[in-house]
Amino acid sequence: MADVDLPQLYLITPAEIELMTYPDILAACLDAADISCVRLALGTKDEDLIARTADALRELTHTRDVALVIDTHIQLVDRLGLDGVHLTDGARSVKKVRKDLGDDAIVGSFCGNSRHDGMTAGELGVDYVAFGPCGQTSLGDGSQAELELFEWWSMMIEVPVVAEGALTKELITKISPHTDFFGIGNEIWSAEDPVAAFADLRSAIVA
């Protein structure tokens, strides 16, 4: 990005994707801003559908030099030619996954709002730790990753951190000085115009 002090952007796909239309929407978002990474976060366990979706998105991301990681499915990383995996179990599987995928693969870990899980995952070799949700949501158990967590992490820990989940423009502005990435997903995909919604959220990022 033009300003290295600004958090970078990390896009998270919807849980359900319409392959006839979504790739064009994603491509427009990728062309609208510098994106560091896209996470394929499908809710399905249909391996064929995951593979077809990965093929479609990989073509878009790799031609733009954007990393493509997959949520959870470690064994599909090499098979589908992806750049790595996003784990959702804190630090529990990091050591084994890092060994299985090697040093070149991206391994990230979602750690909720747990400093302990985040620090442990960092010590075990993740490339980034994600905390969230940052905003209020009725999903999950209602716990949030508060601003104080990102403030503490940015002062104490060198492992890059992603802020994600129920983000608003107000939260983005508050967290910007204390995070390396914003993970943006349903905040824009549920909008009538995802590209415009993406631009609106980006406008809240400050140094």
Contacts with 199 (C-beta within 8 Å, 6 or more apart), sequence order: 32, 33
CA distance linking residue 86 with residue 129, whole number of Å? 9
pLDDT of residue 207: 83
- pTM greater than the 0.85 cutoff: yes
Q: Does 21 have pLDDT greater than 50?
A: yes
Band the pLDDT of 70: cuts 50, 70, 90.
Answer: very high
Rounded CA gap, 83 and 133, in Å? 24
Sequence ranges of the domains in the chain: 8-202
Q: Which amino acid is at 197?
A: A
Q: What pLDDT does residue 14 have?
A: 98
| DSSP per position, 127-151 | SEEEE---S--SSTTS----HHHHH
Mean pLDDT of the region 55-65: 98
The mean pLDDT value of the chain amounts to 96
Give 5's pLDDT tier (boundaries 50, 70, 90).
confident
Nearest 10 degrees: Cα torsion 20, 139, 116, 185: 30
List, for residues 97-106, the tens digit of each pLDDT value. Answer: 999 999 999 9
Residue 43: what are its φ and ψ, rounded to 5°?
-85, -10
Higher pLDDT, 2 or 87: 87
pLDDT of residue 157: 97
The pLDDT of residue 206:
94
Does the structure show a pLDDT above 90 at 141? no
pLDDT at 4: 58
pLDDT value, residue 179: 98
In the predicted model, is pLDDT for residue 2 greater than 60?
no
- CA distances to 51, 137, 196 from 192, in Å: 27, 20, 9
- In tens, the pLDDT along 158-203 reads 999 999 999 999 999 999 999 999 999 999 999 999 999 999 999 9
Q: What percent of the chain has pLDDT over 70?
A: 98
Statement: residue 36 has pLDDT above 50 = yes
Fold of 8-202: TIM Barrel (3.20.20)
Statement: residue 1 has pLDDT above 50: no
